[in-house]
Amino acid sequence: MHYFIYHAGELYCEEVPVKKIVEKCGTPLYIYSGKTIRRHFKVFDSVFSEIEHLTCYSVKANSNIGVLALLAREGSGADIVSGGELYRALKAGIPPQKIVFSGVGKTPAEMEAALKAGILMFNVESLEELEVLGEVAKTLKIKAPFAIRANPNVDPKTHPYISTGLSKNKFGIPEEEVIPAYLKAKENPYLLPLGLDAHIGSQLTTISPFIDALRRLKALWEEISSFGFELKYFDIGGGLGIVYDQEEPPLPEEYSSAILKELKGLPITLLLEPGRLIVGNAGILVTKVLYTKANREKKFVIVDAAMNDLIRPALYQAYHKIVPVEEKEGEEVVVDIVGPICESGDFLAKERKIPQVKRGDLLAVMSAGAYGFVMSSNYNSRPRAAEVLVEGDQFFLVRQRETVEDLISLEAIPPLYL
């Protein structure tokens, strides 16, 4: 669900006409609905209310500090994967004791920043990483709370690029090495075993892979306990899918009840790392039609947003619904909706049936709140889009549109050439 709704033929975000925001902020433009984000967070968090838990929003899905600040006010924690995300989360007011740090390639400098900030725990993804974490902690004389991220070798049945819990994926530690890792950690008093973690993939639309992974994790947890470890935090990652098109992902209540059934009686605090579910359907990308053209085979609608703004269609053949900002009657046409970038892979939709559009019309690319702006780039020297957050009848520019000056602000011409 979301609060992007037509009133009298015009698309609104909550109580503001999208067109009005575009008049002020231009295109391409990301627009987020605060009310939708809040609702998603509340629903997700509340279905776990019967168990001690902490929802750590996965910052990578949408890391705008305006969005993070909204979630901080709702009581969300954060799942981060870099020093940059740590910086953002703290700036936005997420308490460090609600932050977990995942990722296969944490640098010693990132570990140091997180240790000094006092985060809840590190989700460690290799034995070498564990060793380095121990060294950094020892140097700083700060104990490093950690969980081992197990790789349960479960197929999440999603796009191969976003599957993370299979042995062929780079993530986590193989099950058979998990216990030896905790035992090894005993050698360094600066390593504090606090939890166990797994995350098997993203945009999952069935429950069974989650439960398979959970059962394997539970078995590991029990085995670890038999060695005398008391692991308080049981982190099951994120990954619950959303509706982009015809998918029928489990409802949050279905997801939680299946999980809670498995965890009954375990003396643990459950950690959850949802990303897409919280923000995916809470954002749109608004783009303007620049030109239309046709050749012998195809009709093209050329818009001012491109793969640098939203790479999901090009990278994962992802489907995003595209609708006109002003509703149109009349015949529909089948078109490719493409951007200005010089690559044939630069498309937002292929062979898509949409109402006839003309130069200057506005289109809304739906479900663009997760993995949208955060994956954008400056390819073709395109300044990145602006971002707006709507709250009721108000809207706020939460990221200015980049300028061409911004594009070269960190570059230099060698004095030799001047």
Give the nearest distance from C-beta 333 to ligand LLP in angstroms.
28
**CB distance 171 to 164 below 8 Å:** yes
Q: Determine the distance from the C-alpha atom of residue 237 to the mean position of all C-alpha atoms in its chain, rounded to a whole number.
A: 12
CB closer to ligand LLP out of 174 and 267: 174
Long-range CB pairs of 210-214 (<8 Å, 24+ gap) are 210/236, 210/239, 210/240, 210/255, 210/258, 210/259, 211/258, 211/259, 211/262, 212/152, 212/154, 213/152, 213/154, 213/165, 214/259, 214/262, 214/263
* 105 marked as binding residue: no
For 149, how many CA atoms within 13 A lie in the half-sphere containing its CB?
A: 27
Give the nearest distance from C-beta 62 to ligand LLP in angstroms.
9
> In this chain, which stretch among 66-74, 236-244, 383-391, 396-404 interacts with ligand LLP, using CB under 6 A?
236-244
Q: How far is CA 413 from CA 62, 148, 377, in A?
A: 34, 46, 22
Q: Using CA atoms, how far apart are residues 392 and 22, in angstroms rounded to an integer?
A: 17
Q: Using CA atoms, how far apart are residues 18 and 408, in angstroms rounded to an integer?
A: 31
385: DSSP letter? P
Instruction: Check if 25 is active-site.
Output: no
* 415 marked as binding residue: no
* 276 marked as binding residue: yes
By CB under 6 A, name the one of 273, 304, 309, 361 that touches ligand LLP: 273
By CB under 6 A, name the one of 238, 313, 324, 339 that touches ligand LLP: 238
Give the nearest distance from C-beta 139 to ligand LLP in angstroms.
27
382: DSSP letter? P
Give the nearest distance from C-beta 279 to ligand LLP in angstroms.
8
Give the nearest distance from C-beta 244 to ligand LLP in angstroms.
10
By CB under 6 A, name the one of 14, 45, 79, 391 that touches ligand LLP: 79
By CB under 6 A, name the one of 27, 33, 55, 58 that touches ligand LLP: 58
* 239 marked as binding residue: yes
Q: Is 102 in the site for ligand LLP (CB under 6 A)?
A: yes
> In this chain, which stretch among 10-18, 172-180, 195-203, 388-396 interacts with ligand LLP, using CB under 6 A?
195-203
- Would you tell me how many other CB atoms lie within 10 Å of the CB of residue 57? 34
**What string marks each residue from 295 to 334 as x (binds ligand LLP by CB under 6 A) or -?**
-----------------x---x------------------
| Catalytic residue selected from 13, 25, 56, 342 | 342
Give the nearest distance from C-beta 171 to ligand LLP in angstroms.
7
Q: Which of 250, 287, 275, 286 is nearest to 371 (CA)?
A: 275
Q: Which residues pair with 390 in a beta bridge?
A: 33, 395
Q: Is 203 in the site for ligand LLP (CB under 6 A)?
A: yes
Binding residues for ligand LLP, rule CB under 6 A, total 21
Collect all residues with Cβ–Cβ distance below 8 Å to 196 and sequence separation of at least 6.
147, 148, 150, 178, 217, 220, 221, 224, 231, 233, 234, 235
CA 35, 250, 172 angle in degrees (round to 5)?
95
- Helix, strand, or coil (residue 203): coil
By CB under 6 A, name the one of 156, 237, 252, 313 that touches ligand LLP: 237
Q: Is 275 in the site for ligand LLP (CB under 6 A)?
A: yes
By CB under 6 A, name the one of 66, 77, 274, 324 that touches ligand LLP: 274
> Which helix (DSSP H) or strand (DSSP E) does residue 279 occupy?
helix 276-279
Give the nearest distance from C-beta 100 to ligand LLP in angstroms.
9
CB closer to ligand LLP out of 134 and 369: 369
3-state secondary structure labels for all residues of 227-266: CCCCCCEEECCCCECCCCCCCCCCCHHHHHHHHHHHHCCC
CB closer to ligand LLP out of 25 and 305: 305
Q: Using CA atoms, how far apart are residues 291 and 297, in angstroms rounded to an integer?
A: 17
Q: Is 40 in the site for ligand LLP (CB under 6 A)?
A: no
Q: Which residue has the tokens 């991220």?
A: 149
CB closer to ligand LLP out of 235 and 391: 235
By CB under 6 A, name the one of 2, 35, 106, 199 that touches ligand LLP: 199
Residues 154-183 that bind ligand LLP (CB under 6 A): 162, 164
* 280 marked as binding residue: no
Binding residues for ligand LLP, rule: CB under 6 A, are 58, 60-61, 79, 102, 162, 164, 199, 202-203, 237-239, 273-277, 312, 316, 371
Give catalytic residues, as residue numbers. 342
Residues in the annotated binding site for substrate: 276, 312, 316, 343, 371
